[in-house]
Chain A
Amino acid sequence: MGIPLRQALLVAIPLVVMFSILQAAFAQEAGKVIINRVEVWGLFYKGMVIAFTIGAIVMGVIAYVVFRFRESNPKNASRTSMEGRH
């Protein structure tokens, strides 16, 4: 088996973050002629995609936690020595 998932992610995520910051920091100097309409709406759509992605991740995690730790899950039966004895 290759590199474990955790290590791969722990390397990949900071690289993505650093790349974004560096790209903006070393971008062409301000004063460039741009079409505001295109840039602003492009940013808006990008923001919407990211907002919904984060929403999906958060909702997915909540669904997973609710399902995994539900009371009816056999793994959660008698979690402590005191439970289920009265």
Chain B
Amino acid sequence: MGHSTVEWVYVGVVVALLIYIGASAWDVERFLDHPPKDAKVVKVTGQQWFWTFEHEDGKKELGELHLVKGVPYVFEITSRDVNHSFNIPDLTVLMDAVPGRINHMWVMPDASGEYLIQCREYCGFSHYQMRAKLFVEEAIPVSGETEVSNIPVSVQEAKPVIANN
């Protein structure tokens, strides 16, 4: 094995790995840039020093945001005064809120619970207090249906087991 072979392997493997990770990143980026068609819109407005949210049905929230688990949402993010940045660390959401511009970011919460919303761009004296709470709630079952997760564990365990063979 001569020197040129080693050099070709060196160059080839490095270039191949870089192209592979570049292609993967491009692929993920493409999905993150295009929300599903049935996504619900939530208008997010940042201003010194709080967040306001407006749902599709006109319902407004201040300092709190209530979403439903398993539903995709598109955030239309803007600001009224200075630059802010809308950040939900647990859901990997981070997008600048810029006055006069609407930025988009979509997310589908996959676990219910309470999450932190914060400003991630220094925006003035009370930047550190510019926080809100995200509540992800379980979907309300349509009448007639009962979600298995809502059935008490004792009842689930009491279900008859059907043998496969």
Task: Using CB atoms and an 8 Å cutoff, list the residues of chain A in contact with chain B.
Answer: 5-6, 9-10, 13, 16-17, 20-21, 23-24, 27, 30-37, 39-43, 46-47, 50, 53-54, 57-58, 61, 64
Contact = CB atoms under 8 A, between A and B. Distances in A.
A17 B14 contact: no
Given A40-B28, A54-B14, A31 B36 contact: yes
B33 A33 contact: no
Contacts of B16: 13, 16-17, 20
A22 B107 CA distance: 27
A35 B110 contact: yes
A53 B13 CA distance: 10
A60 to B, nearest CB: 9
A20 B8 CA distance: 20
B33 to A, nearest CB: 7
B145 interface: no
A6 B27 CA distance: 31
B33 A35 contact: no
Contact of A39 (B15, B31, B106): B31
Contact of B8 (A6, A46, A54, A57): A6
